[in-house]
A and B are shown apart, each in its own frame.
Chain A
């Protein structure tokens, strides 16, 4: 059972426009959410995170929104740049489970078109 879902395997956006990447989760015990960016043949790079006690966190061009009632989070990239083209992974953690595991979605491939 996939607890973290990224239902869009790919997304294409024009340079300068907004990219919106979506993520849904099923485990209500998740209390921390993260977004990672990954280029081919490289390890994921941490982008931004949000605690479940917040509904928004912003860092430069990246903003993460959390809707706990809908069990949904999204990553907004504004403005999108060609260098943002990569696979984006959503991850979640249940701190109360006694495990340090991050549960990852399968990723969304973002292509920013110049």
Chain B
């Protein structure tokens, strides 16, 4: 069965510090990978998605970036955090079927980021 891991689970960082959140998926090959953010009292906002190694699409302009160095590894980074970057960050994956991505996305446990 497929498993998705995220770490760290919680993180408190000062404004201006760098960020690196990691996500890995097990039990599947060539998944689509996604980074979402849930800000307090709001729905889930898609930040980045990737259809393959080194292929990153950004949905929202911001000071965050994403990278996919391996097939089942997805990293969310920032060089300098802002207060507004605080939130609950979720990684998700979906399977490919007949050349297209299945709609069902499966989420990891999330990382709670607090920028102080």
Q: Do A and B bind each other?
A: yes
Give A83-114 interface residues, CB cut-off 8 Å to B. 89, 91, 93, 95, 99-102, 104-107
CB contacts (< 8 Å) of B88 on chain A: these are 41
Complex contact A43–B49 (CB within 8 A): no
A49 near B49: Cβ-Cβ < 8 Å: no
Closest beta carbon of chain B to A45's beta carbon, Å: 7
Measured between beta carbons, the chain B residues less than 8 angstroms from A91 are 44
Known interface pairs A41-B110, A95-B100, A100-B34; A46-B105 also in contact (CB < 8 Å):
yes
B42 CB contacts on chain A under 8 angstroms: 106
Q: Cβ of B101 < 8 Å from any Cβ of A?
A: yes
In the complex, what residue of chain A is closest to B103 when comparing beta carbons? A32
Contact check, B110 vs A95: say whether CB atoms are below 8 A apart. Answer: no
> How far, in angstroms, from A60 to B68 measured CA to CA in the complex?
37
* Contact A100/B32 with A43-B90, A45-B107, A46-B106 known, Cβ cut-off 8 Å: yes
Let me know if A42 is at the binding interface, CB within 8 A.
yes
Name A43's contact: one of B43, B104, B109 (CB within 8 Å): B109
A-B contact pairs, 30 of them (CB 8 A): A32-B103, A34-B103, A34-B105, A41-B110, A43-B90, A43-B92, A43-B107, A43-B109, A43-B110, A44-B44, A44-B90, A44-B107, A45-B107, A46-B107, A49-B103, A49-B104, A89-B43, A89-B44, A91-B44, A93-B103, A95-B103, A99-B57, A100-B32, A101-B59, A102-B44, A102-B105, A104-B43, A104-B45, A106-B42, A107-B43
